[in-house]
């Protein structure tokens, strides 16, 4: 019988199936790691229910910034701040694994944030304030992801996570709601996110790289579970350290669902078709709920987000 507290390999060995998923703090100043950020993550890392901490998304280039207070790893000058963040967490939990999520906002930003019109896979028919990416744009952004991943490695992280969910750029390529391209990248919507992932893997060597996949959308015409499984299989074959399954353009909530693990139909389907550990988030608020989902084989890892954010001492009485 599998247990919550046992060793799982995600490119590195962790000793709990409970994960702190990336949650935006909006505490950065000019993209730099602030003292507030350091204090926050030290506080969260003290909870020994968790052994894997996925740090909130950092933008990989200035035109991919989602907000003015988002963390950056878009240039070498930011490495020192990230090194401080890893050291702060390790000072509390030297045995914990710390991964950094890397992201580009695509059309999920504004001109007043990035200084130019946002870009995405296609121009949305109702949106005149974005531009479709050229092949040259796509090559440049791919290189930006690779460069940021190498910076994460230099900063001392134990791994990185590529963000292909929650409506950001790579999810925009994956989703039929936003990808209207008439080239190969529209015919095969996984193609560009997978190319970015493979380029990062090639550059990183044995440094673990996971992926967060927006594998389901809750409105008509959006990504289906079957399409989410297809994407997950592609990243699994490409060597993903784990598969973090969540929502796509419609976000991390799921209207009409209040049960623990509200993306479990997706995670269960992915588990049947892949070999990498599968991470499930969404609505899990107690240790007992995670334990039940594990017993039911809904996933291998369980992200505790808002409940942990609300209470940094979440379920420590059960240690």
Write down the pLDDT at residue 113.
97
* pLDDT above 90: residue 126: no
Using one digit for the tens of pLDDT, what is the confidence trace for 193-228? Answer: 999 999 999 999 999 999 999 999 999 999 999 999
DSSP category for residue 5: S
Alpha carbon distance 211, 148 (integer Å)? 15
Q: Poorest-confidence range of 30-39, 99-108, 120-129?
A: 120-129
Q: How confident is the model at residue 1 (pLDDT cuts 50, 70, 90)?
A: confident
Nearest C-alpha neighbor of 168 from the set 141, 139, 128, 134 = 141
Percentage of the residues of the chain whose pLDDT score is greater than 90: 94
Alpha carbon distance 191, 102 (integer Å)? 18
Catalytic residue among 59, 157, 168, 192: 168
Name the fold adopted by 14-318: TIM Barrel (3.20.20)
Percentage of the residues of the chain whose pLDDT score is greater than 70: 98
Interstrand relation of 131-132 and 243-247 (parallel, antiparallel or unpaired): unpaired
- Catalytic residue check, 157: no
Write down the pLDDT at residue 123.
85
Using one digit for the tens of pLDDT, what is the confidence trace for 5-27? Answer: 999 999 999 999 999 999 999 99
**Contacts of residue 279, Cβ cutoff 8 Å, sequence gap at least 6:** 19, 21, 242, 243, 244, 245, 267, 299, 300, 301, 302, 303
User: What is the average pLDDT across 291-317?
Assistant: 97
Using one digit for the tens of pLDDT, what is the confidence trace for 238-279? Answer: 999 999 999 999 999 898 888 999 999 999 999 999 999 999
Write down the pLDDT at residue 129.
66
């Amino acid at each position: 019988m599998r247990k919550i507290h046992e060793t799982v390999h995600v490119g590195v060995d962790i000793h709990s199936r409970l994960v702190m998923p990336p949650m935006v703090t909006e505490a950065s100043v000019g993209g730099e790691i602030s003292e507030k950020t350091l204090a926050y993550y030290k506080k969260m890392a003290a909870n020994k229910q968790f052994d894997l901490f996925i740090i909130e998304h950092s933008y990989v280039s200035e035109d991919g910034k989602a907000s003015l207070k988002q963390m950056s790893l878009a240039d070498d000058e930011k490495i020192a701040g990230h090194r401080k963040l890893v050291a702060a967490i390790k000072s509390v939990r030297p045995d914990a694994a710390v991964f950094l999520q890397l992201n580009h906002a695509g059309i999920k930003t504004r001109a007043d944030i990035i200084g130019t019109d946002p870009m995405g896979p296609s121009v949305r028919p109702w949106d005149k304030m974005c531009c479709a990416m050229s092949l040259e744009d796509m090559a440049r952004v791919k290189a930006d992801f690779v460069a940021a991943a190498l910076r994460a490695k230099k900063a001392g992280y134990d791994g990185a996570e590529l963000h292909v969910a929650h409506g950001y750029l790579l999810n925009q390529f994956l989703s039929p709601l936003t990808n209207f391209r008439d080239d190969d990248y529209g015919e095969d919507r996984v193609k560009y996110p997978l190319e970015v992932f493979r380029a990062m893997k090639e550059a990183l060597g044995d440094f673990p790289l996971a992926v967060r996949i927006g594998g389901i959308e809750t409105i008509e015409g959006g990504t289906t579970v079957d399409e989410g499984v297809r994407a997950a299989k592609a990243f699994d074959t490409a060597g993903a350290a784990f598969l973090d399954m969540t929502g796509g353009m419609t976000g991390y909530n799921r209207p009409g669902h209040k049960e623990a693990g509200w993306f479990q139909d997706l995670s269960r389907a992915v588990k049947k078709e892949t070999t990498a550990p599968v991470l499930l988030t969404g609505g899990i608020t107690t240790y007992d709920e995670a334990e039940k989902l594990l017993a039911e084989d809904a996933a291998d890892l369980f992200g505790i987000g808002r409940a942990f954010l609300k209470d940094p001492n979440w379920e420590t009485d059960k240690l």
